[in-house]
């Protein structure tokens, strides 16, 4: 479409493909089979990384290494101060390597280079906050149980944690999990997505440099079958934390249930933004545009549906369409690009199928709705797409598209807006736009979502916990609650002296 803002190929030279190996017990190892998998750049169509393809054997060896490292106390029994010192070193090293990490993440994921840079640099703050938490783990004491009794509630690391991360924010989401698990004293086995493995492997280089003991963090590359399955089912694993699709999250829950290990899940979302007539419409339109196109819409927090008051719907949609035409789609290596490539051709096809299904159901595409050709880069891009005339029963209003596609619904009353917002199997995040604080608070308290933004969208901080309700997941990440996920509670009850009367009578 000629009226869109398109950034053609920048013509920058690409580096040679990166070689990735497993990191197990402090050593770099290949798969026993010698097999590798290639990752093609979504934007440039060339191999950008080649990674060892893990088997059950590598996963089991990594779990054994993490188990030994936990049980012998080389990390779990360190003081909070000692653990924090290493986490702070890792944060400094991340900041020193932002450009190097960001380049490979952009090449593997297709996201714009500026967003990769922001993701890597921002992740350092997660490590610093986790370091602060490492020194604040505390339980409770009970000193009113009688003069001869004293009890304390301890919080201890849960043990070996399997961390399974997705392709859309590979370094950021890893940093929402790993430093908090380490702050708690856990040891870990990580499986990054086979599509974006490199920054996870590169992080291990920084962990070694920072002085993390061997075996505390292990990485096994490869696919969900068999690596992820072993990491989920193995009895030597005490907890699984997973970010990805709701369908896979359900499978992990079933598998982990065989050993009753703890499971934390951050899954999908169909996140609404509700816009009232008294809202700052310019700010709301800009936030909606950002929310649906950020990371090509491949984001669990994407604001993929908006619920707009009927009185302003036509005007508001026109504002969003006008802004959408100005959003720069194209070469991720160009710093002017705001929206990059779709992660795989198969995923691009699923996005297009969802749009076509919406049209078949009676919705109207007012912008986009097709693949986008970027000069010099091919067709693994999708146009900014806005669909109106959406009704609550349509799939486009209920199912996660995970692409740059916005569904528009309308409402008349606050109660109707709340009902529409909650009419989904997901409950990750929601937003409300109004200058009336009473309206905002009423919506926020009634919304079934783990995060509710008021007159903003997707602002986040290491201190503020994140997670979903309903089929958007269970458990929480980041913030103090994020570290609590990795702690087990133990009650220690002590009798002071020999005051207990005997249960068995003396002869």
**CATH numbers and ranges of domains, the chain:** 12-267+472-491 (3.40.605.10), 272-454 (3.40.309.10)
Phi and psi, residue 478, nearest 5°? 55, 175
Distance CA 177, CA 30 (A): 25
Q: Identify which of 377, 299, 357, 361 has the alpha carbon closest to the alpha carbon of residue 369.
A: 357
Give me the residue label for tokens 């091919």.
Answer: 378
pLDDT at 378: 78
Distance CA 288, CA 306 (A): 8
Q: How many residues does the chain have?
A: 507
- Asked whether 494 and 151 are in contact (CB, 8 A), the reply is yes
- Asked whether 128 and 138 are in contact (CB, 8 A), the reply is no
Phi and psi, residue 451, nearest 5°? -135, 135
- List residues bridging with 328 in a β-sheet: 5
- Asked whether 182 and 163 are in contact (CB, 8 A), the reply is no
pLDDT of 174 > 60? The answer is: yes
Longest dimension (CA), the chain: 100
pLDDT digits (tens, 9 = 90+) for 50-71: 999 999 999 999 999 999 999 9
Distance CA 42, CA 122 (A): 24
Distance CA 51, CA 23 (A): 12
Distance CA 103, CA 479 (A): 28
What does the mean pLDDT of the chain come to?
97
**Quick one: how far is CA 418 from the chain centroid?**
26
How many CB atoms sit inside 10 A of residue 282's CB?
10
pLDDT at 503: 87
pLDDT of 499 > 80? The answer is: no
- What residues act catalytically? 266, 300
- List residues bridging with 410 in a β-sheet: 308
Distance CA 15, CA 359 (A): 42
For a pLDDT cut of 90, what percent of the chain falls above it? 96
| 250: its two tokens | 């359900």
Mapped to the 3 state alphabet, what secondary structure does 183-228 carry?
Answer: HHCCEEEEECCCCCCHHHHHHHHHHHHHCCCCCCEEECCCCHHHHH
For a pLDDT cut of 70, what percent of the chain falls above it? 100
The per-residue DSSP string of 439-471 comes to HHHHHHHH--SSEEEESSSS---TTS-B--EET
Q: Which whole-number Å values give the CA distances from 131 to 82, 234, 412, 444, in the listed order? A: 10, 29, 48, 31
pLDDT at 252: 97
pLDDT of 2 > 80? The answer is: no
Q: For the CA atoms of the chain, what is the radius of gyration?
A: 25
* DSSP element (H, E) containing 395: helix 395-398
pLDDT of 195 > 70? The answer is: yes
Burial-class residue 294 by CB neighbours within 10 Å (0-12, 13-18, 19+): buried
- List residues bridging with 239 in a β-sheet: 161, 262
Distance CA 63, CA 272 (A): 40
* Mean pLDDT within 220-227: 97
* DSSP element (H, E) containing 104: helix 98-109
* Mean pLDDT within 110-126: 98
Identify the residue with better confidence: 73 or 10: 73
Distance CA 203, CA 189 (A): 13
pLDDT at 497: 80
* Mean pLDDT within 379-392: 96
pLDDT digits (tens, 9 = 90+) for 75-92: 999 999 999 999 999 999
- Asked whether 274 and 430 are in contact (CB, 8 A), the reply is yes
Angle between helices 98-109 and 113-134 (to 10 degrees): 120
* Mean pLDDT within 459-483: 97
| 67: its two tokens | 């188990």
pLDDT of 460 > 60? The answer is: yes
């Amino acid at each position: 479409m000629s009226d869109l803002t398109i950034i053609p190929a920048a013509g920058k030279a690409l580096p040679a493909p990166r070689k990735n190996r497993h990191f197990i017990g402090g050593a770099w190892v290949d798969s026993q089979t010698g097999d590798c998998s290639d990752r093609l750049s979504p934007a440039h169509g060339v191999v950008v990384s080649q990674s060892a393809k893990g088997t059950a054997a590598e996963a089991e060896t990594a779990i054994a290494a993490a188990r030994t490292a936990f049980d012998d106390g080389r990390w779990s029994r360190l003081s909070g101060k000692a653990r924090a010192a290493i986490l702070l070193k890792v944060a400094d090293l991340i900041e020193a390597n932002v450009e190097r990490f960001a380049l490979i993440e952009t090449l593997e994921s297709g996201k714009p280079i500026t967003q990769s840079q922001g993701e890597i640099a921002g992740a350092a703050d997660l490590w610093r906050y986790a370091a602060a938490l490492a020194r604040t783990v505390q339980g409770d004491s009970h000193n009113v149980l009688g003069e001869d009794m004293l009890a304390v509630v301890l919080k201890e690391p849960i043990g070996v944690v399997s961390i399974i991360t997705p392709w859309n924010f590979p370094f950021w989401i890893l940093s929402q999990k790993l430093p908090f698990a380490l702050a708690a004293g856990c040891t870990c086995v990580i499986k990054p997505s086979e599509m974006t493995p490199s920054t996870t492997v590169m992080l291990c280089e920084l962990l070694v440099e920072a002085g993390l003991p061997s075996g505390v963090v292990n990485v096994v590359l490869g696919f969900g079958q068999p690596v992820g399955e072993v990491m989920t089912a193995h009895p030597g694993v005490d907890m699984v934390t997973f970010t990805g699709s709701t369908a896979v999250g359900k499978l992990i829950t079933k598998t982990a249930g065989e050993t009753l290990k703890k499971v934390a899940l951050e899954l999908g979302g169909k996140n609404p933004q509700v816009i009232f007539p008294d809202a700052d419409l310019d700010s709301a339109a800009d936030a909606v545009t950002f929310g649906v196109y950020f990371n090509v819409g491949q984001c669990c927090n994407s604001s993929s549906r908006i619920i707009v008051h009927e009185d302003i719907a036509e005007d508001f949609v026109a504002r969003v369409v006008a802004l959408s035409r100005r959003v720069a789609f194209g070469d991720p290596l160009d710093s002017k690009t705001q929206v990059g490539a779709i992660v795989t051709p198969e995923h691009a096809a699923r996005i297009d199928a969802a749009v076509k299904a919406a049209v078949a159901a009676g919705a109207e595409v007012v912008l986009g709705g097709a693949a986008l050709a970027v000069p010099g880069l091919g067709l693994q891009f999708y146009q900014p797409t806005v669909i109106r005339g959406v009704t609550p029963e349509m799939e486009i209003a209920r199912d996660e598209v995970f692409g740059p596609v916005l569904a528009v619904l309308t409402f008349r009353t606050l109660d109707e807006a709340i009902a529409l917002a909650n009419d989904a199997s997901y409950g990750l995040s929601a937003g409300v736009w109004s200058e009336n604080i009473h309206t905002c608070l009423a919506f926020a308290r009634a919304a079934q979502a783990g995060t509710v933004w008021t007159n903003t969208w997707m602002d986040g901080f290491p201190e503020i916990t994140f997670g979903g309700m309903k089929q958007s997941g269970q458990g929480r990440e980041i913030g103090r609650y994020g570290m609590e996920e990795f702690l087990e509670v133990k009650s220690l009850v002590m009798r002071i002296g020999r005051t207990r009367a005997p249960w068995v009578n003396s002869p």
